[in-house]
Amino acid sequence: MNRKLLDILVCPLCKGELIYRKEEKELICKADRLAYPIRDDIAVMLEDEARTLSLEEADALSKKPAHGNPFDQPAGV
């Protein structure tokens, strides 16, 4: 997935930022709790094709920093 392309992709519903999940090959909108599939390196930005995240998944997302910010880790560990 092209990083520049990722930067310009937004949720078609709320125009919000998307979270790219490499392992799942999905782009996630936290606000709508939708996961847009990436098929053959092409993001399918269609609400009809998107998967609704379970509450558990949405919860896990809000706990994990989206971009793995190293400064989020507690100091002195």
Interacting residues toward Zn ion by CB under 5 A = 11, 13-14, 16, 29, 31-32
Q: Closer to Zn ion at the Cβ: 32 or 76?
A: 32
Amino acid 40 reads D
Radius of gyration over alpha carbons of the chain, in Å?
13
> Quick one: 39 exposed, middle or buried, by C-beta within 10 A (0-12, 13-18, 19+)?
exposed
Residue 48 CB, nearest approach to Zn ion (Å): 14
Q: Closer to Zn ion at the Cβ: 53 or 56?
A: 53
Residue 16 CB, nearest approach to Zn ion (Å): 5
Amino acid 14 reads C
